[in-house]
Amino acid sequence: MVKKILIFLFIVTASLNAQNIEVSAYTDSTQYFVGDYIKYSIDLKYDKSIKVEFPNIKDSLKQLEFINELPKFQNEVEGKIVETRSFNFSYYDSAQVTIQSFPIRYLSNGEKLVINTNPVTVTVKAIPTNPQAEIKDIKAPVRIPFDWLTLLIIILLAIIILAAVYFIYKKYFKKSEEIITKKIIVIPPHETALNHLRKIEEEKLWQKGMIKEFHSEITNVVRKYFEERFSFAALEMPSSEIIPHLNKIKECESVIDISRDFFENADLVKFAKFQPMPSVNENMLKLAFDIVIKTKPNLIESEIRSEEKADV
């Protein structure tokens, strides 16, 4: 009696669970040609309390060639979930094919259960051909006549574009390059030196206690001016060798004594750690200006040098 009661309860429970979920499998047609897409769909209807574990359809149906899975449709109707899963398959031979039943697992009231889909049978037919029809050759390629007018238009457009590019380059870019080149070349050494000395004067280095830096910068300006103006390596020479070179240059006769005092004071600050009076610092800047101004080229010489550089 106990066994019979348990069997009865099991049958009743299974029947109740089965009523909580329904499954139906179908295709969009029963007749296909070889290579056609076979749309296979599964409708599920179940209570919201049920959790469905949908299988991997690609692995479940081996007799058909899987193509892709279509978007899932899901809705709620009268308190139940209505879900549709659709897939595209194909078959590459003529035959009658049965899509077999396969299990869908689900969880209801904490119990793992299974419901099976219904089998679906489709017929795949070969593409009809007429064996009595005449076999025709492949058509020869169609020859397109050469369009001389189009070719002439293309050549004319190319000539116009090239002419426009050349005109723009010649009028704007090349002219700008020539102007920039001339501006860079014509700046003489004395103007560069005077500009640097004015900048040092504005920075007021020795007034800020940077006495060594002040003397170092103005001596470098004068050395570089001598090197560019009279073409000897003044930047690499000690102060004692610069004066003999100046003695050989006619334009430097008026600044020999000034230059000697200038470099001696600079060497005292640099090597003997001499702390000059403010008046000495002011005088050093004045001597630097005097050296450059008294040895700068006259107007005629400056024009000749600018023309020579422009030609180069």
Question: Biggest alpha carbon distance in the chain?
Answer: 140
Chain-centre distance for alpha carbon 45 = 52
Closest CA to 199 of 299, 269, 288: 288
Parse the chain into domains and list their residue ranges: 20-125, 189-311
Can you tell me the distance from the alpha carbon of 216 to that of 266, in angstroms, rounded to the nearest whole number? 7
- Domain boundaries 20-125, corresponding CATH code: 2.60.40.740
**Residue 16 pLDDT:** 46
The type of residue at 278 is P
Can you tell me the distance from the alpha carbon of 246 to that of 259, in angstroms, rounded to the nearest whole number? 9
Three-state DSSP at 240 gives: helix
**Residue 312 pLDDT:** 46
214 membership: H or E segment, kind and range: helix 211-230
pTM over 0.85: no
Can you tell me the distance from the alpha carbon of 65 to that of 185, in angstroms, rounded to the nearest whole number? 80
Do 259 and 246 touch, CB atoms closer than 8 A? Answer: yes
| DSSP summary character for residue 1 | -
Three-state DSSP at 83 gives: strand
**Residue 102 pLDDT:** 86
**Residue 175 pLDDT:** 63
Give the per-residue SS3 of 227-280: HHHHCCCCCCCCHHHHHHHHHCCHHHHHHHHHHHHHHHHHHHHHHCCCCCCHHH
Strand pairing class (31-33; 120-125): parallel
Helix axes 278-295, 189-203, angle to 10 degrees: 160
pLDDT in tens, the chain (312 residues): 655 554 444 444 444 444 588 999 999 999 999 989 999 999 999 988 898 988 888 887 877 889 999 998 889 888 889 999 999 999 988 899 998 888 999 998 888 899 999 999 999 998 877 777 776 665 667 777 778 888 889 999 999 999 999 888 888 776 666 555 555 556 889 999 999 989 988 888 888 888 888 888 999 999 999 999 988 888 888 888 888 888 888 888 888 889 888 888 888 877 767 777 888 888 888 998 999 999 988 744 444 454 444 444
Closest CA to 92 of 51, 61, 128, 64: 64
Q: What angle do CA 110, 84, 56 make, to 5 degrees?
A: 65
**Residue 293 pLDDT:** 92
Q: Torsion angle of alpha carbons 8, 11, 14, 18, nearest 10°?
A: -130
Tokens of 203: 């920075």
